[in-house]
Chains A and B, each alone.
Chain A
Amino acid sequence: EVQLVESGGGLVQPGRSLRLSCAASVFTFDDYAMHWVRQVPGKGLEWVSGISWDSGSIGYADSVKGRFTISRDNAKNSLYLQMNTLRAEDTALYYCAKDRTMIQGVSAGGMDVWGQGTTVTVS
C-alpha cells in the first residue's frame, strides 16, 4: 500500500526551528511532486509548500515564505520541511501529500495520497 509517514513534530518555543520529515514507500517517489499541507484542529486545510520531482520548481504560501524551506532526497524517498522563526500561528497538524503529477503548481495536479500528519505546537 502506498504510504507516507510524517515525523519531527513537537512542542517548540516561538522563534525556534523544527524540521519535519516524510518517508514515502511503495511508489516511485521521484516520479511525483510532493506537498506539505497544514490544518489547525477544527479548521480548514492550508497548503504550505510544494516541490517538483526534481526540486526544480518550488512554491510557498505567503504565510511561510522566507521562514520555511521544502526539500527532498529522492535517494532516500524522503520529503522535508525546515521551519525557522516559528510563530504561534504555525501551530497545526502538518500533512505530507503526494501529487498526481511530476511538477508542483500545475493545474492538472491533485493530492492523491496523504500521510496521517505530525503535530507542531509553537508555545
Chain B
Amino acid sequence: SYELTQPPSVSVSPGQTASITCSGDKLGDIYASWYQQKPGQSPVLVIYQDTKRPSGIPERFSGSNSGNTATLTISGTQAMDEADYYCQAWDSSTAVFGGGTKLTVL
C-alpha cells in the first residue's frame, strides 16, 4: 500500500520560514493536499492540488510538489500556526494521509 512519510516534528522561530516535507513514491506525479489541525479542533484544508489555497487561508501558506516530495511552506510563521500538519494524496481511489508533523513555534 502507498505510504506518505512526514517528519514527526519541526521547530521554527516566530517570523521565520517553516518547511514540512511529505515523501512518497512518485508523489510529484499526483496531487497533494495539506491539513492543519490544532488541539481539540477538526482538521482544516490549507493547501490542495499541490499549490492552491482555499479561501480564507493566509498567503503565508504555500505548497510545492516534485519528484518524491511535497512541501508545505509557512512564511513569516506566527504563534497561531503551531499545530499538527498532515499531507494527503490519492492512490488507486484510496486516500492516504501522512503520519503528521507537529509544528512548534518557539
Interface residues in chain A, defined as those with a beta carbon under 8 Å from any beta carbon in chain B: 35, 37, 44-47, 50, 57, 59-62, 95, 97, 100, 104-112, 114-117
Interface residues in chain B, defined as those with a beta carbon under 8 Å from any beta carbon in chain A: 1, 30-31, 33, 35, 37, 42-45, 48-49, 54, 86, 88-90, 92-100
What are the nearest 7 A-B pairs in CB distance?
A105-B93, A110-B48, A47-B95, A114-B42, A110-B33, A107-B31, A44-B100
- A50 and B86 contacting across the interface, CB-CB below 8 Å: no
- State the total of A-B contacts with C-beta under 8 angstroms: 74
User: Nearest A residue to B30 by beta-carbon distance?
Assistant: A107
* CB-CB under 8 A for A110 and B45, given A45-B35, A45-B86: yes
A111 to B37: give the CA distance in the assembly, Å.
Answer: 13
- B42 and A111 contacting across the interface, CB-CB below 8 Å: no
